[in-house]
A and B are shown apart, each in its own frame.
Chain A
């Protein structure tokens, strides 16, 4: 059992939790993830490690309530326990020496994962532009935290209700057009966003790393539920990733595979709602 020591609602649907998990906190690195199971009947769901505190022995997760399991998790409070919490899983992000200028691009709740990447790069002495995109003003998260770990924070909102109007891809394109020379782009967010960031960088030959989020069960390489096609080869995102070269990823296949259980998920979401009405 793993205790929730801090809970903070970041916006209407995004929650931050700090979870006591000393073994994981000792080893966790940027880019890795955990798998949680809320209770005995629960499913196993992966979440990227947003931050860790080795001394306090805690792991920070930031998640959006998109379905039944994240909703159940969001209903827990400080002092409550999560049944299972396993990690750190996946390969830690690796950045080559000699990188000078990087754009880290985050979309929505993906900013929670872009944040530790930016933090790591920043601590390596790399100049970081952080481009964070949100649908509107109300759902902007982690603004101060992000500002602290980059040289230049560009926030975009789809509807222009806050900061710059447009998508992250527009902002990235503008930077490139303005002559900023990026050695690397790191993109984390919804799959279409990552796909289009790759479309922007490809003609310029800028290496682009994406963090993939396929369906997972065990997260240790024993089922292949999370398989993705990278450069024509089958890879298991849980052990070979989750970071991959975005120019080689088959995003369309990933998007389709992630829709496998849409119907079952909707029905279960509805069941939960009905229970509450009663």
Chain B
């Protein structure tokens, strides 16, 4: 089912939508250092998205470049996981999302770096270094908030509870993909368990497992996100920027 095009598109969409959400934090972070960090991570995600979408466009061979793929598809054509499109919420929600995303992206890009497709391997090799930094940064915040004050502990646990169900979609088996997401689960679980336990947080039980992002069936949030992201590009068809 899954050709390299679909695979590159999914990963590119994950990174693009994550970047868009992180970019919303600009000038709103709890401290100036964090403003820089969040913009930095957004920029990394956007960089990976551009490489992946450019490659996806080439694989498709229909003349679509990164901008055509980012700006001229509707939400039903986007293939990102639901996790990245969820609203930023408070800082704890944002950190929970970033923590789960980077705990998934690090083993994913690491595996990709060793795959047979040279372009994907090169992208994986570059992106995994950035993911390691994202994971480090978000882990530290999960620990600070989890093991900080009573208030921050309450918020961090609530964030983990709210976001956790959306992690299951990341590991839907796809043996035909260049990297089968199902093989990443153990690595992800080990990372998450260690950090949550150090943060004095409880990992929620498995239960509700929302999904559909990979098939273009999204939450109600994505369409608004795209409306904002695409508005100017769509208002000037064919223009150069």
Decide whether A and B assemble into one complex.
no
Please report B residues at the A interface, Cβ cutoff 8 Å.
none
